[in-house]
Amino acid sequence: MTNRKDCPDSDEEQSSVPQVVPVVELSPPDPPVVEKPVPEPVDKFRISMAFTAKWEGGFVHDPVDLGGRTNLGVTQSTYDTYRRQKGLAPRDVKHLNKIEAEAVYKVLFWDPARCERCVLPLAMAYFDTCVNFGVNGGVRFLQAALGVKADGRWGEVSEAAFMAGNNKQTAIKMCEGRIAYRHQRVREN
Residue pair 17/79 in contact (Cβ under 8 Å)? The answer is no
**Does 66 fall in a domain?**
yes
Angle between helices 122-146 and 168-188 (to 10 degrees): 70
**Does 120 fall in a domain?**
yes
Residue range of the domain that includes 68: 44-49+56-113
> Of 113, 136, 159, which residue sits at a domain end?
113
**Does 87 fall in a domain?**
yes
pTM value? 0.77
* Statement to judge: residues 120 and 186 lie in one domain: yes
Total domain count for the chain?
2
Report how far residue 28's alpha carbon sits from residue 141's, in angstroms, rounded to the nearest whole number.
61
Peptide bond into 121 cis (omega under 30): yes
pLDDT in tens, 132-146: 999 999 999 999 999
| The pLDDT of residue 10 is above 60 | no
Report how far residue 169's alpha carbon sits from residue 164's, in angstroms, rounded to the nearest whole number.
11
For the chain, give the number of residues.
189
Contacts 24+ apart (CB under 8 A), 100-108: 101/71, 101/72, 101/73, 101/74, 102/49, 104/74, 104/78, 104/79, 105/49, 105/52, 105/73, 105/74, 105/131, 106/45, 106/49, 107/82, 108/78, 108/81, 108/82, 108/135
**Does 14 fall in a domain?**
no
Largest distance between two CA atoms of the chain = 127
Q: What average pLDDT does the segment 11-31 reach?
A: 62
User: What's the one-letter identity of residue 144?
Assistant: A
pLDDT in tens, 24-33: 666 677 666 6
> Of 113, 132, 152, which residue sits at a domain end?
113
